[in-house]
A and B are shown apart, each in its own frame.
Chain A
Amino acid sequence: MANTDLDSVEQYDAIGTSPDRSDAKSKATGRAVFIEDMHFRGMLYGKVLRSKFAHARILSIDTARAEKMPGVRGVVTGADIPVLHGEALKDDCFLARDKVRYRGEGVAAVAAVDEETAEEALSLIDVCYEELPAVFDPEEAIKPEAPLIHEQLGAYRHAPGIEPISGTNICNYFHLEKGDVDKGFAEADLIIEDKFTTGMQQHCTLETHCGICLIDDDNRLTLWATNDSPYRTRKEIADALKIPQINVRVICAPYIGGNFGGKGGLKAEAAAIALAWKIRNKPIRVLFTREEEFTSAIVRHPSVIYLKTGVKKDGAITARAVRMYFATGAYAEKGPTITRFGGVSGAGPYNIPNVKIEASCVYTNRQLSGAMRGYSGPQAAWAYESHMDNVACKLGIDPLEFRLRHVYTDGDTHASGQEIYSEGLKECLEKIGERMEWGKKSLGRNRGKGVACMERAVKTPFGSAAFVKVNEDGTVDLLSSTTEVGQGADTVLCQIVAEELGVPFDWVKKATPDTSTTPYDTSTTSSRSTFHMGNAAKAAAADAKGQILKLAAELLKTNADDLAIKGGNVYLKDNGGSSLSIAQVLGKHFGHSATVLGRGFYYPHLEVPVEYFSTHMIFWLLGAHGVEVEVNRQTGEVKILKVYAAMDVGKALHPSNCTAQLEGGVSMGLGFALYENFIFRGGDFLNPSLLDYKIPTALEMPEIEPIIVECAHEEGPYGAKGIGETTNVSLPPALANAIYDAVGVRIHELPITPEKILYALKQVSEKKTQQRADADPATVGNPFGGKK
């Protein structure tokens, strides 16, 4: 055994190094082409008229005046494209029909020769509404007397495993049980209950959403998009319009200016498609304004989460019950599967014998909630990790020790029933504890330390395919539908191909995704690309390599097994001296016509086969944060002294990109924890701008210590897993736990503002003066702005 281990210590050429990103130069010189830089002859510009009511019946739409305006080429309403689309649940329209369900929903769209004209024409469209009662809070929306947002919920088509409850606002109900919670609570010495809430967060990609759509008279549709997932989009469009998939071509812009889950589904694309469906043979562009990003794209689900944990005095956890409400807004979007993932991980990454989790995805009359970095992870972790500290505190046990005692390790059984393997979470916590000198170094007065960890599922089981096209000169095109959204996928996939094929990194280029040329990929989401597409690219490179070696073997009159490729040259393993370049091998066989195509496909096979969003995962995203803070007792302001971020990446294929993700995740987690919030008053939404919605600037960033943990996954490419959606998730609870450690107040509601801390501090001191024992000032408010 020892020998095998030694033999398997491989020396890599491209893997584990951090070559310059393949897109860095074109981006640093301003030459990189984004969709707003693209222009087509005859292109028209679309603008969308948006609902001014949160919930209203549309009585009539009069577009006559707008249509007559000079420069206008057409006006479209929901009646022109009376079909539904959606991913897990098909409930969404291209433009509203019969009624509007949120302020900002598209009601009509205009295409004109320029944006100004289109914008002006919108003011000439007359819409008559009959306002309906609206509901904004998920807990209000599940009450029997709540206004029904989708009367037809029971009739909508949906994916397997999704359970809408007809006649309610619940568009998916997920339920998971392990053991017997009643028995577990009966055995407990102490039962601790908590409620936590989170508000909306928006992706705030610097590039806004955009789609350019052209449909010809033969119903052939081409969509240029900022979309993260061309194949999923193609299917969604083809299903909705009832046209064959082959007639739908989705082409990604060469570069996408940020994603974080926000650029999936049909957003700006929906309006562009609706316009092009009516106005044929013209490319029509719809580019969202920053305001539309906030009002009419997607946001992170606001949530309300109740946790109840039973413990023995010695710290053993006997049971945990979790009830979660995810407010999905007016349409399901990815809410049903987010709720599923939130549910699967709702109890946290801990060994608990008796678990019961219920998670509901609830419609409200707000903008759509959908995928955003963490995909339920930030909401779930905010609750279970704040709760873990609270439980540890009630028991008088050190919170890190409490976690280390219960956190999953290999061989444990997950709440979902799956056996845990390749779990590096404990190591993440241990490393953070070491670096923070946990339990040793005290930071002083009004300062504190906090730690939190997380797990999140990777969407399973879904496939990815790649082609590796070796050109006549030995350079390589990687054809893959993974989108480069800033995460560095192009670079890491090229590294994998270079490594596997044996060519220099800069010989490999990844093609821009285009459903007519690059092969199938489910999506660039869920931190799945390095693992899934990495495996596909690796397999495709191996396939190409096999073909080249076979050709070389004929020339060298030897066995392919005796040959290897390194640096773009084929050589005899025994005799490094004699070699042929790939170009020579191909040239000698095919003259100037040489090409080799390697094919690769990866699909995770699980013991429990499921078609759609399994509760068993091919891998888990795992990580932990440690935070050191100082709290100002006069103002309630929090100064973050340092953040420690440890993530289990399996294997760091590009270490610098891993730390880049860790650092970027801290900024997004920090925004969610401290600054970012949607301000509502009733139906009014008051901060739809980058001035009033506060994403962190460079001056908000604390010192960060990134820690890469490598707990290899046997099925991952070179052992790699995923990282992107791990990096923001556990920061907010780690921060809240540090604040508690510093000044003894527990914040239950995000974001953590200075005033929440200040008033919680005052409550504590008032309580102290009243000689009361319980010093836990829960400040549970209503983050949804609805009228209670």
Chain B
Amino acid sequence: MSEACKTAFGEGPKAQIIAGGTDILPALKYRLKTPGILIDISSVPDLDTITYSEQEGLTVGALVTLRRLAAHKDVREKYPLLTQAALSVGSAQLQAMGTIGGNLCQDACCIYYNLPSVSRQGLDPCFKLGGGRCHAVQGSKICHATYSGDMAPALLALRACVTIADGTGENTIPLNELYSGRGEAPHVLEPGRILKGIQVPPPFHNVGIYVKMRIRKSIDYPLLGVAVNLLPNGKDGALKDILVGLTGVEKSPLLITPPDEIKDTYELEKQTEIMAQAARSKAHPIANTSGYSPRYRREMVSVYVRQGVLQALEIAAGRG
């Protein structure tokens, strides 16, 4: 690992890390990225392990494929939200190739950016291509490419942390600190720093669900992804706690924590509505996808949060 970090550091921005390859290869084929070298981290030891303990929770190496993660016994039993999110990514083949680390570090998407060469040639280079404009939001001074990974909202709602290695050691940060909020470079990893693994705290009595909006039920990126992780069985059927993760609606995945006012109510419906509106107010989808208008996607944020809460409660009721 330290060798990979050092090489990456030495090469600087010319180098790109490759894990499963499903995110970077189309970008290379479309010549959106022209790295001098690709650093293949697949031979780094111990990046493909999954461990679970009641005390420590779940630790997943960055190179664990989504298919393996989804199928892992402890993940299926203790973190069904993760299984569900992993099985919503792309297609079966993309799940078999794509890794959890790669998915979290997935580049932000934009219909004006992710274009093959012929179709792109009529467009001036945008911020993400090193140019000086954003085609999706004309007149904007920044890039609005949208983060569209499916795993991040689920892991955010599970309060996961990630471990980052550099040449000398490693440090662990909450997952939301991995994201920069910048469309042109959505995560904060500078050259020489590599995502090594993910830690998810032990499950409590929480229930999770991932609801994904997309045009087709396979292959597609989320036009909106909502992960709901809640703790039921509060007073009078209200929620004890709830976290919502969002994807596909901003330059970063978003973690929606319960606003203070939620504590003042013990009514499930009000709590749900407060979360739905909180999520909606933070989502700013723009017209840079191949499906549905920003207006519709934003409106659906609250609809999907409500749906997610209901479905999670149904699961909780089923568990008895």
Contacts and interface: CB of A to CB of B under 8 A. Distances in A.
- A and B touching (Cβ–Cβ under 8 A): yes
Interface stretch (B52-60, B112-120, B251-259): B112-120
B290 A688 contact: no
29 contacts: A52-B122, A289-B116, A291-B116, A292-B118, A295-B119, A634-B307, A635-B300, A679-B111, A679-B290, A685-B119, A686-B115, A686-B290, A687-B111, A688-B115, A688-B116, A688-B118, A688-B119, A691-B290, A692-B111, A694-B215, A694-B220, A696-B216, A697-B91, A698-B218, A699-B218, A753-B291, A753-B292, A755-B295, A758-B296
B303 interface: yes
Contacts of B123: 684
Given A679-B290, A686-B112, A103 B216 contact: no
A562 interface: no
Interface in B95-145: 111-112, 114-119, 121-123, 135
Nearest to A676: B215
Interface string A628-647: 00000011100000000000
Interface of B: 91, 111-112, 114-119, 121-123, 135, 215-221, 290-293, 295-296, 299-300, 303, 307
Interface in A20-78: 50, 52-53
A686 B219 contact: no
Contacts of B220: 691, 694
A684 B122 contact: yes
A686 B303 contact: no
B290 A755 contact: no
A699 B119 contact: no
A697 B217 contact: yes
Contacts of A292: 118
B137 to A, nearest CB: 13
B116 A635 contact: no
A700 interface: yes
A693 interface: yes
Contact of B118 (A295, A694, A697): A295
B303 A755 contact: no
User: What class of interface size applies to chain A in its complex with B?
Assistant: 35 or more
Contacts of B293: 755
A691 B219 contact: yes
A699 B290 contact: no
A686 B114 CA distance: 9
Nearest to B26: A691
B287 to A, nearest CB: 9
Contact of A687 (B91, B219, B290): B290
Chain A contact residues, majority secondary structure: loop
Contacts of B300: 635
Please name the 3 residue pairs, one residue from A and one from B, whose CB atoms are nearest each other, closest first: A692-B290, A699-B217, A755-B296
A230 interface: no
Contact of B216 (A686, A697, A758): A697
A53 B112 contact: no
Given A50-B121, A686-B119, A697-B91, 4 more contacts: A291-B119, A634-B303, A692-B111, A755-B293
Interface in A674-733: 675, 679, 683-689, 691-694, 696-700
B216 A635 contact: no
Nearest to A686: B111
Nearest to B289: A692
A52 B121 contact: yes
Contacts, number: 83
Given A689-B116, A692-B290, A699 B216 contact: yes
Contact of A697 (B111, B135, B218): B218
Nearest to B221: A691
B119 A683 contact: no
A675 B290 contact: no
A683 B124 CA distance: 13
A698 to B, nearest CB: 8
Contacts of B116: 289, 291, 688-689
A683 B293 CA distance: 20
A85 to B, nearest CB: 22
B122 A103 contact: yes
A755 B292 contact: yes
Contact of A694 (B112, B115, B122, B216): B216
A697 B111 CA distance: 21
A635 B290 contact: no
Interface string A747-762: 0000001110011000
Contacts of B292: 753-755
A84 to B, nearest CB: 24
Interface in A731-779: 753-755, 758-759
Interface in A78-100: none
B296 A694 contact: no
A71 B181 CA distance: 45
A689 B289 CA distance: 13
A693 B290 contact: yes
B118 A104 contact: yes
Contacts of A52: 118, 121-122
A698 B92 CA distance: 12
Nearest to A755: B296
Contact of A700 (B91, B115, B135, B217): B217
Interface in A414-463: none
A687 B300 CA distance: 23
Contacts of A296: 118
A150 to B, nearest CB: 22
Q: Which of B111, B112, B119, B300 has the most CB of A within 10 A?
A: B119
Nearest to B119: A688
Contacts of A698: 218
Contacts of A686: 111-112, 115, 119, 290
A635 B114 CA distance: 28
A103 B120 CA distance: 11
A616 B115 CA distance: 46
Interface string A257-301: 000000000000000000000000000000001011001100000
A104 B119 CA distance: 8
Nearest to B300: A635
Nearest to A632: B303
A728 B309 CA distance: 39
A697 B296 CA distance: 24
A634 B306 CA distance: 11
A668 to B, nearest CB: 15
Contacts of A696: 216
Given A635-B300, A755-B292, A675 B119 contact: no
B264 to A, nearest CB: 27
A289 B216 CA distance: 23
Nearest to B122: A52
A124 to B, nearest CB: 15
Interface string A537-548: 000000000000
A754 B121 CA distance: 32
Nearest to B288: A686
Contact of A53 (B122, B219, B291, B307): B122
Q: Which of B91, B291, B299 has the most CB of A within 10 A?
A: B291
A122 to B, nearest CB: 9
Contacts of B291: 694, 753
A758 B117 CA distance: 36
A103 B221 CA distance: 27
Nearest to B138: A681
Interface in A559-594: none
Nearest to B290: A692
A693 B135 CA distance: 20
Contacts of A635: 300, 303
A640 to B, nearest CB: 13
A50 B120 CA distance: 11
Interface in A215-233: none
